[in-house]
Structure 1
């Protein structure tokens, strides 16, 4: 069963399992084609410092990268940044860096900025950036080590070393914002845009 009514399948320019799951559970037929993009280089060469602007830029570039190869199809690009004050976080390179990120985030509030963009024929048609406020509970070294032991290699796949939909939920006291934003895809706003283009059956 699919609500997708486009002539051709929707494309998600992402390898993110969470984003793919969100679309699939919403009954959207899509094909995942990861963008060929050096995200770190794009970010550094842009000169941008606002986490929301950076997320939007990377979402644009991912969507455009695939759209240029598939000009007849609608392509979704998405990206997420994490900011603690003026500090921007990237995915940790390994356990030691994951532990350092958790120490920095423990007991304080940080922000997640999730951007989504839709492109077709090499042009951006839609962009939205949503924000979620995340308050991590105080963590001692024993807590951090126990979490890292259980989470394993997954800590390197997400900025901040956590996945809220999995073991990362144990790290938090309070969250502000919708679940879709936290998982990296502002789904309600994306669906509203697709409906405005009569690409959905509901």
Structure 2
């Protein structure tokens, strides 16, 4: 009997990516206090990539203690010159973030951990780099008005698969990782475990 795949996430985009790749996964919200965890990590001076990995592991382990199967925990943080940037709280903050990104390159620290029986068994970190072209104030205003409040659900106030593509002059790295899930390494691990045929 094949192992059940459980996604420890409420993320619609991660569920959609898995389903699109033919992976049947049950989604379970991990109910961890992400804000408290992030505050603790940042107070200790933890690197942004390590913060993302720790959060992914926290989610995977929490759900894995209550569910059998392979539990996937994921987290993505935006790293701007060593500073972790969170999702904007409102449209004014989204505009402020875009002003900060303008003309600069940031990294998306995209971490994924698989836990089984309450223990991590596999982890992967992908770090695509995205260069935002210089953005004018009229563009930022028009972009946010057109993109709408959906940008508040994303760490960079953009969705690359939509209007967010207009923000960038250069992108280096895996497209799926930018969307929040390093899909190709994950599929490879699921083949190794016999969940997918090789």
* TM-score, normalization by structure 1: 0.93
Note the alpha carbon deviations across 1:158-199, whole angstroms, 9 max, x for none.
111111112111111110001011011111111111112122
Query: Does structure 1 retain, via aligned residues, the 8 Å contact 2:87–2:154?
Result: yes
SS in 2 for 1:31: strand
Q: Which consecutive segments of 4 or more residues in structure 1 shift more than 3 A? A: none
Aligned: 1:184 with 2:180: yes
SS in 1 for 2:128: strand
Note the alpha carbon deviations across 1:134-163, whole angstroms, 9 max, x for none.
001111110000011011111110111111
For structure 1, the residue ranges without an aligned partner over 5 or more in a row are none
SS in 2 for 1:156: helix
Paired residues in the alignment total 196
Pick one of 151, 156, 162 that aligns with 2:158.
162
* TM-score, normalization by structure 2: 0.95
Note the alpha carbon deviations across 1:104-160, whole angstroms, 9 max, x for none.
001111111100110111010000101000001111110000011011111110111
Aligned: 1:44 with 2:34: no
Match of 1:197 in 2: 193
> Could you say what the CA RMSD is over the residues aligned between the two structures, in angstroms?
1.2
SS in 2 for 1:159: coil
Match of 1:138 in 2: 134
Query: Does structure 2 retain, via aligned residues, the 8 Å contact 1:155–1:162?
Result: yes
Equivalences for residues 33-72 of structure 1 within 5 A: 33-46=28-41, 47-70=44-67, 72=68
Aligned partners of 2:40 and 2:131: how far apart in 1? 31
